[in-house]
């Protein structure tokens, strides 16, 4: 949390500010390795861009997939802008104090900065990082909505483009993302209560889903209905690894944030922060 001119707060997803320990040989080696892996991901993502034109999925699904892949560029730019401040290479007001905080409501623990203009790359990078994080958080939900649309227009969905559905889904996702970014970037939400609520709510939904018995329909379905059902099953079978990987990464990042915030293993803060940054920008 940054305290801007003692008047308002800005929250960006970094834990260490002016962290001199990142200049150690071990951490420099890890940062260089991260940079090389990022370049590999860029070239690999460009290579996989052919997936946006394949006929394996519907045009709307391919377009959403291409957007999700492209959004990684926001992460790369955001990481490039925030890393110099995280390591202390770029300083603000010649301030070399090492600040460590993920989220706090105590003004004494916030990092003071006179104005946003003095460190605009830091806040621009933080904004882009938040954007990428919420794109990845909502992508599975948006993909599921696309499949719901496919089931609703079950008669001829696969044979028609219906690009308006893609734009509606895209705008709906942007509304969710930008609203959430406003709440977190300007520190309008409290981290601990929100995380606790989301965990309890999701666990409640999971328990309710497990208790609900599966029902089988005895109706005879027409050929288009059966084709769409098989298409939905094929899509989910091909994306199951993405679902599992996304869930594991989100939970891992959440666990790291909790460990770092409550200083459970304070001697490992630097390494855990490095791991968290890699998960966020993956």
The full set of domain ranges for the chain reads 2-207+222-280
The Cα–Cα gap between 129 and 136 comes to: 11
The Cα–Cα gap between 264 and 261 comes to: 8
pLDDT at 179: 92
**Rounded to 5°, angle at Cα 81 from 78 and 82:** 85
Q: List the structure tokens of 191.
A: 């981290």
Give the max Cα distance, the chain.
Answer: 73
Angle of helix 59-70 versus helix 163-185 axis, rounded to 10? 30
22-53 pLDDT, tens digit per residue, is: 777 777 787 788 778 777 776 766 666 555 55
99-120 pLDDT, tens digit per residue, is: 777 777 777 777 788 888 888 8
Q: List the structure tokens of 252.
A: 């891992």
Residue with tokens 């309008």: 188
Own/partner contacts of 278-282, CB < 8 Å, gap of 24 or more, are 278/34, 279/249, 279/252, 279/253, 280/13, 280/75, 280/129, 280/132, 280/133, 280/253, 281/38, 281/75, 281/76, 281/78, 281/79, 281/129, 281/132, 282/249
Find out whether 187 and 1 touch, Cβ atoms under 8 Å.
yes
153-175 pLDDT, tens digit per residue, is: 877 777 777 889 999 999 999 99
pTM of the model: 0.78
Of 67, 176, 181, which Cα lies nearest the Cα of 126? 181
Given a cut of 70, the residues of the chain with pLDDT beneath it are 1, 5-6, 18-21, 42, 44-56, 95, 97-98, 191-192, 195, 212-228, 238-239, 243, 246, 282
**What is the four-CA torsion angle of 15, 21, 23, 25, rounded to 10 degrees?**
-120
């Amino acid at each position: 949390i940054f305290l801007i001119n003692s008047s308002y707060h800005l929250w960006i997803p970094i834990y260490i500010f002016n962290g001199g320990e990142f200049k150690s040989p071990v951490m420099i080696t890890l940062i260089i390795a991260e940079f090389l892996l990022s370049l590999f991901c860029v070239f690999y993502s460009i290579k996989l861009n052919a997936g946006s034109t394949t006929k394996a999925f519907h045009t709307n699904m391919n377009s959403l997939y291409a957007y999700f892949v492209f959004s990684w560029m926001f992460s790369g730019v955001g990481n490039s802008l925030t890393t110099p401040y995280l390591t202390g290479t770029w300083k603000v007001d010649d301030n070399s104090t090492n600040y460590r905080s993920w989220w706090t409501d105590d003004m004494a623990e916030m990092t003071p900065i006179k104005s946003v203009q003095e460190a605009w790359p830091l806040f621009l990078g933080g904004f882009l990082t938040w954007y990428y994080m919420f794109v990845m958080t909502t992508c599975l939900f948006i993909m599921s909505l696309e499949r719901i649309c496919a089931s609703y227009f079950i008669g001829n969905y696969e044979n028609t483009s219906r690009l308006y559905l893609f734009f509606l889904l895209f705008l709906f996702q942007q509304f969710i993302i930008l609203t959430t970014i406003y709440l977190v970037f300007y520190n309008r939400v409290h981290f601990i209560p929100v995380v606790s609520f989301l965990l309890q709510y999701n666990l409640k939904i999971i328990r309710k889903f497990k208790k609900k018995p599966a029902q089988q329909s005895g109706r005879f379905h027409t050929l288009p209905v059966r084709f769409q059902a098989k298409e939905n099953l094929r899509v989910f079978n091909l994306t199951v690894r993405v679902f599992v990987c996304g869930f594991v990464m989100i939970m891992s990042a959440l666990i790291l944030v909790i460990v770092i915030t409550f200083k459970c293993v304070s001697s490992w803060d630097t390494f855990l922060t490095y791991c968290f940054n890699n998960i966020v920008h993956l």
